[in-house]
Amino acid sequence: MKFKKYIVVAVLAVLAIIALFFIYQKLNPKELADNLIESTGRIDGDLILLNAKYPGRIDKITVEDGSSVKKGDLIAHLKSDETAARLEQATAQMQALQKQLNANRKELQMLEQTLPNSVKKAYKASTIAQAQIADLAASVESLELTVKQDEKDYQRFQTMFENKLIEKHKVELAKLKLESDSNQLHSLQQKRDQARSNANIAALNTEDAKIALLKIAISKEKLKAQEDQLEAAQAARREVEAMLSEMTLRSPVDGFVVDKTAQAGEVVGAGMPVASLIDPSVLYLKIFVDTMQNGKIKIGDKALIFLDAYPDRPIAAKVVRIAQKAEFTPKEVSVRSDRIQRVFAIDLKPEKPEPLLKLGIPAIGVISLDGKGLPESLNEMPPL
């Protein structure tokens, strides 16, 4: 019986000690150091929305909510029969223009190889013909004078012979000279006429050569226009290829899928989201402090982030943003005074990426105004 009494007394004593301990803590609560500011908040971050740039049907989607992704990983692929048809049309048009351009280039090359020589020959033939006409004209003119003189001499000798003043052979010699010079004049006149005909032909050939040169110039202009058309067709094809490339959505960062907002087989419009991602390296804790504390905090102040599940694992951080405008105290935020109605948002960013941080989870932030006295455990801090 005495032993049982001792046990009861001991239990009562332990309970009394525990009660006294809690009463002491209640009467003597932990106080926050003057250089520390403590507040609660949630882990926040800027979501990356993967939107469809062009309308299409989702052919494949490779992620789920919470999936881990690496930069460049395939998230989703869209199909568009209309865009595919545009690509085929642009490709066919480009190929047709390319064939036509190649044919015209060969034609121009042949013209440039043959026509210049033809033009030179035509100009040379025209020059020679004009020179021949000039030479023959002078010879004909001279010989015409000679023939006229021969005719006069023949008439004079004929009269003198009839008057028995000269012998007959002199008349015959004059007649022979007249006939010879007349025949020579006729031959020269024929050559002159032929030279004039050749000159006319050469002139026509020269005009044809000029037209041929003009044809080369026109062919070059036509070729330039076709090259411009081909360049425009190539640009149109590149545009469609870029559209098709935009229908393959890839992760721009190493991170996680926060929300998959579309399913395979669905049709999405331009600008509609397919999934939202988060980069863990940009996560931060958004806490709220009152107006009295806000003026003491500076950008770059040292801080710690504590998660409820890991009270003894402080995460080193620093102040990266201080709101310039107060707002009403959010419902989920705890402050030390019920009289505080307006607070300022403060962003605490970890000094290095922390895998424990998840978007939206609650956490406690502690800021040191002088960089000293930061706790090693959340248990060292008074409860909010």
Distance separating alpha carbons of residues 247 and 230, to the nearest angstrom:
26
Whether 253 and 234 have beta carbons less than 8 Å apart is answered as no
Distance separating alpha carbons of residues 312 and 315, to the nearest angstrom:
10
Q: What is the mean pLDDT of each run of 10 residues along the chain (384 residues)?
A: 62 70 55 82 90 90 90 91 86 89 83 67 72 79 83 85 83 83 84 80 74 78 86 88 88 90 90 91 90 79 92 93 80 54 87 88 92 86 74
- Residue 41's nearest CA partner among 262, 259, 294, 289 is 289
Give 19's Cβ-side CA count (13 Å radius): 6
- Residue 332's nearest CA partner among 14, 6, 44 is 44
- DSSP lists the bridge partners of residue 347 as 286, 321
Residues 6+ apart with CB under 8 A from 262: 58, 61, 76, 268, 272, 273, 274, 275
Give 133's Cβ-side CA count (13 Å radius): 15
The pLDDT assigned to 142 comes to 84
The SS3 of residue 322 is strand
- DSSP lists the bridge partners of residue 48 as 277
Distance separating alpha carbons of residues 336 and 330, to the nearest angstrom:
14
The pLDDT assigned to 301 comes to 93
> Model-level pTM greater than 0.75?
no
Rg, C-alpha atoms of the chain: 55
- Domains of the chain by range and CATH? 30-45+283-380 (2.40.30.170), 50-78+247-276 (2.40.50.100), 83-244 (1.10.287)
The pLDDT assigned to 346 comes to 92
The pLDDT assigned to 6 comes to 62
The pLDDT assigned to 317 comes to 95
Whether 294 and 344 have beta carbons less than 8 Å apart is answered as yes
Distance separating alpha carbons of residues 95 and 234, to the nearest angstrom:
9
